[in-house]
Amino acid sequence: MDKPFGMSVHPSPGQTGTTLINVLMAHIPELGLVDDSMRPGIVHRLDKDTSGVILVAKTKAAQMNLVEQFKERTVKKVYITLVEGNLKPDKGTIEAAIGRDPINRQRMAVTHNGREARTEYRVLKYLDKYTLLEVTPKTGRTHQIRVHLAAVGYPVVGDGVYGSKSKYLKRQFLHAHKIGIKLPSTGEYREFVSELAPDLQEALDEISAGLPAGQ
């Protein structure tokens, strides 16, 4: 399904507002039969302010199969992001371990004792002081794309945690564009695509045209 920005995937301590699980359970009550946890059918997650395609399993067998695919790193994940600055070379790999920030435990950071993390990127377009990227995380660490890009000096536009807020957006410019899996039912490889969210496309159009924010 296509997750909008501003919506958390599942309930958590201190969580307020509607979550993806709430919406799913309202439309697919049988999802509660998948398991009795607070995350029925969930096999991976997206940050609250990241939009795009997300997988949900409707049966226990499918959930276990998909969880195993993620564990074996055979799932293809492709994100679209806009970063500050002109990132060069136009394609490459960022490899740096990620763990809890020792100074601010609410954040993640590149740390020498963190867990292995690898992110591949490819430049789609240079836009004045920005770069539009296609990013493929090869591991699944918390905030991986945002942390890695900030660590090499090109933070995601609008990311107030690892970079700075943007006049063009109310959130970070990060969208889960494509995910590829083997269908649990048949083993056939399939890719599912989510087109760029409207607020991100609007910001991109404004930047491309050299317009002031909101014009």
- Which pLDDT belongs to residue 58? 85
210 falls in which pLDDT band (50, 70, 90)? confident
Q: Judge whether 62 lies within some domain.
A: yes
pTM: 0.90
The residue assigned the tokens 């740096």 is 96
Strand partners, 184: none
Enclosing domain of residue 19: 2-209
Would 214 be classed as within a structural domain? no
What values do phi and psi take at 213, rounded to 5? Answer: -55, 140
pLDDT at 60: 86
For residue 48, the 8-state DSSP code is: T
> Per-residue b/e over 26-51, b at no fewer than 16 CB within 10 Å?
eeeeebeebeeeebbbbbbbbbbbbb
- Check 47, 49, 159, 199 and give the catalytic one: 47
| Residue 40 included in any domain | yes
C-beta of residue 151 within 8 angstroms of C-beta of residue 99: no
* Distance between CA atoms of residues 204 and 67, nearest Å: 34
Q: Classify residue 72: in a domain, yes or no.
A: yes
Look at the chain and count its residues: 215
Residue 215 lies in a domain: no
- Tell me the mean pLDDT in the region 42-65: 91
Looking at this protein, which amino acid is placed at residue 33? Answer: L
* Number of compact structural domains in the chain: 1
- Annotated catalytic residue 47: yes
Q: Which of 130, 128, 47 is nearest to 81 (CA)?
A: 130
Judge whether 184 lies within some domain: yes
Q: Which residue has the higher pLDDT, 48 or 117?
A: 117
C-alpha 156, offset from chain centre = 12
* Eight-state DSSP code of residue 211: P
Query: Minimal CA–CA distance to 182: which of 78, 79, 80, 62?
Result: 62
Q: Per the domain annotation, does 128 fall within a domain?
A: yes
- List the CATH number of the domain containing 64: 3.30.2350.10
In a domain, 122, yes or no: yes
Alpha helices in the chain (DSSP H): 20-27, 60-71, 144-151, 198-209
Task: Examine the pLDDT at 36 and tell me if it is beyond 90.
Answer: no
pLDDT at 137 over 90: yes
Residue 168: per-residue pLDDT:
95
